[in-house]
Structure 1
Amino acid sequence: MTSGTTKLSPAVIVDAAIRIADARGLNGLSMRRVADELGVGAMSLYRHVADKEALLLAMSEEVTQRYTYPSEAAPPWQERVRIAVDVDWELYQRHPWVVLAYSSPRLSYGEASLECLDWLSAGFLELGVGIERATDMALTVWSFVHGVALMAVGDKLIDDQVRGESEVPSVRLSDVIAGHSDAAMPEHLARLAGRPDAAHLLDPRARLDTGIGYLCAGFGAAAH
Structure 2
Amino acid sequence: MDPDESDRPYLRVAGAIRSRIVSGDLRPGERVPSTRQVVRDFGVAMATATRALAVLRDEGLVVTRPGSGTVVRSPEPPSRRSPRSRDRDLTTGRIVATGLAVADAEGLEAASMRRIAAELGVAPMSLYRYLAGREELEHLLVRAVFRAHPLPEPGPAGWRAKLELACRVQWRAYRRHPWLPELVSLTRPLLLPEAMSHTEWTLKALARLDLSPAERAREVIALASLVRGLAASATAETRAERETGQANDQWWVALDDEVRGLMASGHYPQLASVPERAVQDLDALLEHAMARHLDGLAAHLAGR
Question: Matched residue of 2:206: which SS?
Answer: helix
Show the counterpart of 2:296: 218
Show the counterpart of 1:93: 175
Gaps of 5+ in 1: none
Worse-matched range after superposition: 4-13 or 46-55 = 4-13
* Contact 1:31–1:45 (Cα < 8 Å) also in 2: yes
* Matched residues, number: 214
Distance 1:134 1:74, change over 3 A: farther
Worse-matched range after superposition: 148-157 or 106-115 = 106-115
Task: Map 1:37-76 to 2 at 5 A.
Answer: 37-73=119-155, 75-76=157-158
The superposition leaves residues 66-85 of structure 1 with CA deviations (integer Å, 9 ceiling, x where unpaired) of 11111343531111111112
C-alpha distance in 2 between matches for 1:159 and 1:107: 29
Give the C-alpha shift of residue 107 in structure 1. Answer: 6.7
Show the counterpart of 2:215: 133
Q: What root-mean-square deviation, in Å, do the aligned CA atoms of Structure 1 and Structure 2 show?
A: 3.2
Question: What amino acid maps onto 1:201 in structure 2?
Answer: V
Q: State yes or no: 1:201 paired with 2:279.
A: yes
C-alpha distance in 2 between matches for 1:22 and 1:48: 22
TM-score w.r.t. length of structure 2? 0.61
Give the C-alpha shift of residue 136 in structure 1. Answer: 1.5
Question: What amino acid maps onto 1:13 in structure 2?
Answer: I
* Contact 1:56–1:107 (Cα < 8 Å) also in 2: no
* Contact 1:121–1:131 (Cα < 8 Å) also in 2: no
Gaps of 5+ in 2: 1-76
Show the counterpart of 2:237: 155
* Contact 1:17–1:34 (Cα < 8 Å) also in 2: yes
Question: What amino acid maps onto 1:84 in structure 2?
Answer: A
The superposition leaves residues 152-179 of structure 1 with CA deviations (integer Å, 9 ceiling, x where unpaired) of 2322234956x599xxxx999x97xxx9
TM-score w.r.t. length of structure 1? 0.81
* Contact 1:77–1:120 (Cα < 8 Å) also in 2: no
Distance 1:183 1:30, change over 3 A: same
C-alpha distance in 1 between matches for 2:188 and 2:100: 18
Show the counterpart of 1:110: 192
Give the C-alpha shift of residue 52 in structure 1. Answer: 0.6
Question: What amino acid maps onto 1:150 in structure 2?
Answer: A
Question: What amino acid maps onto 1:190 in structure 2?
Answer: P
* Contact 2:263–2:272 (Cα < 8 Å) also in 1: no
Where in structure 1 do 4 or more consecutive aligned residues deviate above 4 Å?
A: 1-4, 104-107, 158-161, 184-189
